Structure 1
């Protein structure tokens, strides 16, 4: 049964205001959730003489361990070489000692934080993660006095790098307070060299615009493609520059492509629900496609949250006898959240209750509030290396198209995001048959259309083994699974000709036995190049004969029509 998490309790406003104020000083982490994790870990450590003995033994052997560490190449946590310390200066004292102590501390914390008997696993993982953040903060790489490369640069430039860094810091803070994008983002602009594939908005409602792209071939396949991106970011991740636009690639191969562009919600949209995103997004788009391309089935494509939503919609359509889908492609999209990766560190009942009050106060979850969690998952790459480069080296690293898009986040309505986090992420209701649409449950096993499932190897948001779990519940005619090199975004934006790209691909047909992910990985060969090529062939095989392109759809809905990329993409 659906749970309404937004129901007001007596004196609810007191909790809402208090937690919203707290969140501003805690990066939106619940102090109660943090205290529960720390207390659980500390009390069990205090009651474990064996673990304490391990700690004291490690301290007693520290001098010998330090000498051994200095005698070998520095290794980062997990055994991989730490590229931060590759310079010759790190081999000299005292910097060699600094880096060795840091490396030993990382490994020691990895041993100490985990395996404390009796600690709830989520609390242990949270403490291990937070300890890594403290260690990242204290890395000798981050500070002028303990980084030989920074000292050498400062001597050579007579402090010029620090003066530039001070200017960069002042400029960044000014732009942040004004809500402006980074200064480097000026090289790319939506409508100029981003999201420039020819098309027009043919439908608009309060939540989305539907773009129909103009054909670039004299003939097109009969069955159209509808792409539903995540609403956490702008849609043009799939229509970046002309060189790496998935939309343009499909259009150039003869497909008729439609794209949903989500509105950036504001306080007045606080009551938009997950079902509103399905009704006003996917179902409204399918209704419009019936008008533009009548009597044709649709290839549904969903990316990230859009893929999760499309899977829910497909299950609801199958339950209700709606046969408008020809196939379903899910890219880096989870339907089972039991192994949802490091993002689970930020989701437990205490943290979610705290976050719901913050969202209730604002009416939405803001972009900056989401960005903090994602940045902590890759603190070195997204925080500390950037800060060192900008403020200590005085460098300006130009943003590429993907980085510019990454800085163009959107908000998420309070009710929708609360339901997503609680019912899907925390309680895993969709995978376990409890998630309701229109008051009735929907199940993955009702989906029988062919499935093309894409996961990425280095995904911090949707780990590939989590995406692979779709196999466990599915009853589709076939599931083609692709594991591509790269991360959550870079693995999806993997156009033909991109150097260094590779992927694995295999198809499981109806009636074939299940293959566990580890065995699948070991038995599926690596292919060089872009997975887009195999995907397009898969789409082509199920898209009917080619013929004359359909006429552009007549605009309907709210406001007036306009050319792509539309108006919602500019919403701040």
Structure 2
């Protein structure tokens, strides 16, 4: 089955095409003029290797050339596979039944179109690409004598190169794009060109690929809709209190500390998958920190400020609003790291204002931070520091780009194909709307976080970091802690988060959810998806724990609620936001979360 066998060529209206082309040329000229004005008077920058990629590949090439036997053997294997593929393709053309020389991984969704298997030319292109990819990746992973950090960098960027050159990413070698080209008479590529220009315009000259329809969602209307009020506001955050849905609630309020690398409403996308709404329905008085999206005037805000004007200030505000001195707390990702530091800060002062803590996909021991380690070394951090010093913050688009590279085929190339090669509008998806709503990181805080935690791994050391004048020692924390990690997490790998269970001095429960960093957490019971693993015995390491773990169907949310109920079974009448000592300032989701960088 070929592309032209099933699709008849349609010719577009020439008047319409002329109008689209005129629009494209006008917008292209405007973009080029803006770039020219931006560069006018500037001395052209010399090529630099601030990421250390060039040096890593140079070292790898040197080591490969010093071991020519391995290189020759690898090339001979590629030659053998190529001959086998030519023989297989010839057999297919002659109508003989043949088996593929190589097949995509079951998780590889790029080659789902039937033409990749049924049309001999496309099948040949696909298998040629897969063979070359396997050869190049295998070569990059087996460079003898290369230091570990350079080896990881070579492997990672080789994978980026391989993913970028996939035949699915080019119009002439993508059967779906060719069918759409024939069906629309070329109009699909014109629409794709227009989409490309729109993304360049939105990114002010930098490509900012739309993952979803950004006009389909509005905070407070169809995302972040759980009823509540802003009851407190400080320089770093607003504090939201949600309206109760039960006649009585747990005595201890529940404070949620989200990461400020993203916005809090990942926990409140829609009613059916909102962790916040579900927690309210279980009888919790739920409070959430909504962090400010900082600009250059926040350049000198550090981790201490997020502690003092974030978690500690929230505890004081909650006590004013409810009269309760003690709370249960949840921290997500970077918010979990801050929550853990808050627990240690309180413990050092002999306070236990947080009586139980839950950590979602939280890194505390950064010995093995996963693929993010590729971006963390002294040279790269120096480069990041220079950029942050110039503007006072790390731009949210830079961080989003880094995270997207960890899953490039899903989070970059699939949208490039849809938007540019097929000329389609991205599908409205609340999760991707949230993912596109990026935030900035203050220069001082982000430098401290990357250096002291990722690079130097000081948080795991007693007194390794000092916050607010207090040495932080996680070992002094004796309150119960519930760890939730996700088995496919590529941002906070679960075996690394598991290492954090060894740092606290109190009772631990570790639970492993299915899926990844987001879906593994946002997994409501009604969906009955993914499942989770539990094991009351932590064992000596992550592998031992998993070997003895029991798998359960459904969501870990119910398991967490049962754990929390065992820690806090006292009940009081439901609390209405604004009815205490702190009056309501505005409706949830509040003003801080509404500041959007790009649209």
TM beyond 0.5: yes
Contact 1:304 1:333 in 2 (8 A): yes
Q: What is the alpha-carbon distance in structure 1 between the residues aligned to residue 588 and residue 116 of structure 2?
A: 52
**CA deviation digits over 1:531-572, x for unaligned, max 9?**
111111211222232221235357999x98212111101123
Contact 2:528 2:553 in 1 (8 A): no
Stretch deviating more after TM superposition (175-184 or 94-103): 175-184
**CA deviation digits over 1:294-322, x for unaligned, max 9?**
34421111001000110011111112101
* Distance change (3 Å), C-alpha of 1:68 and 1:24: farther
Q: Which residue of 2 aligns with 1:320?
A: 349
Q: Which residue of 2 aligns with 1:5?
A: none
- Return the match for 1:216 from 236, 245, 248: 245
Q: Which residue of 1 aligns with 2:93?
A: none
The runs of at least 4 aligned residues of structure 1 exceeding 4 Å deviation read 21-26, 67-71, 73-77, 178-183, 553-557
Q: What is the alpha-carbon distance in structure 1 between the residues aligned to residue 532 and residue 326 of structure 2?
A: 29
**CA deviation digits over 1:504-527, x for unaligned, max 9?**
12334xxxx624212322322221
Contact 2:232 2:240 in 1 (8 A): yes
Matches within 5 A, 1:111-190: 111-177=138-204, 182=210, 184-190=213-219
Q: What is the alpha-carbon distance in structure 2 between the residues aligned to residue 415 and residue 22 of structure 1?
A: 29
Q: What is the alpha-carbon distance in structure 2 between the residues aligned to residue 200 and residue 555 of structure 1?
A: 12
**CA deviation digits over 1:150-191, x for unaligned, max 9?**
223322332232233233223333333399995712222101
Stretch deviating more after TM superposition (179-188 or 98-107): 179-188
Matches within 5 A, 1:52-131: 52-67=71-86, 71-73=98-100, 79-80=105-106, 82-91=108-117, 92-131=119-158
* Distance change (3 Å), C-alpha of 1:525 and 1:155: same
Matches within 5 A, 1:355-370: 355-370=384-399
Q: What is the alpha-carbon distance in structure 2 between the residues aligned to residue 568 and residue 60 of structure 1?
A: 59
Q: 1:47 aligned to 2:71?
A: no
Contact 1:228 1:282 in 2 (8 A): yes
Residue-pair matches, total? 543
Contact 1:485 1:502 in 2 (8 A): yes
> What is the deviation of 1:334?
0.5
* Distance change (3 Å), C-alpha of 1:23 and 1:134: farther
Q: 1:527 aligned to 2:574?
A: no
* Distance change (3 Å), C-alpha of 1:68 and 1:349: farther
Stretch deviating more after TM superposition (282-291 or 298-307): 282-291
Is the partner of 2:532 in helix, strand or coil? strand
Matches within 5 A, 1:101-500: 101-177=128-204, 182=210, 184-433=213-462, 434-476=464-506, 478-500=507-529
Q: 1:570 aligned to 2:589?
A: no
> What is the deviation of 1:203?
1.1
Stretch deviating more after TM superposition (439-448 or 120-129): 439-448
Is the partner of 2:365 in helix, strand or coil? coil
Q: State the TM-score, normalized to the length of structure 1.
A: 0.89
> What is the deviation of 1:221?
1.0
Q: What is the alpha-carbon distance in structure 2 between the residues aligned to residue 362 and residue 286 of structure 1?
A: 32
**CA deviation digits over 1:261-311, x for unaligned, max 9?**
000000010000011101110000011122223344211110010001100
* Distance change (3 Å), C-alpha of 1:75 and 1:323: farther
Is the partner of 2:214 in helix, strand or coil? helix
Contact 1:109 1:128 in 2 (8 A): no
Root mean square deviation, CA, Å: 2.6
Long gaps (5+) in structure 2: 1-41, 90-97
Q: Which residue of 2 aligns with 1:7?
A: none
Contact 2:348 2:470 in 1 (8 A): no
> What is the deviation of 1:492?
0.9
> What is the deviation of 1:370?
1.0
Q: What is the alpha-carbon distance in structure 2 between the residues aligned to residue 507 and residue 55 of structure 1?
A: 47
Q: What is the alpha-carbon distance in structure 2 between the residues aligned to residue 122 and residue 259 of structure 1?
A: 38
> What is the deviation of 1:394?
2.1
Q: What is the alpha-carbon distance in structure 2 between the residues aligned to residue 373 and residue 164 of structure 1?
A: 28
Q: Which residue of 2 aligns with 1:15?
A: none
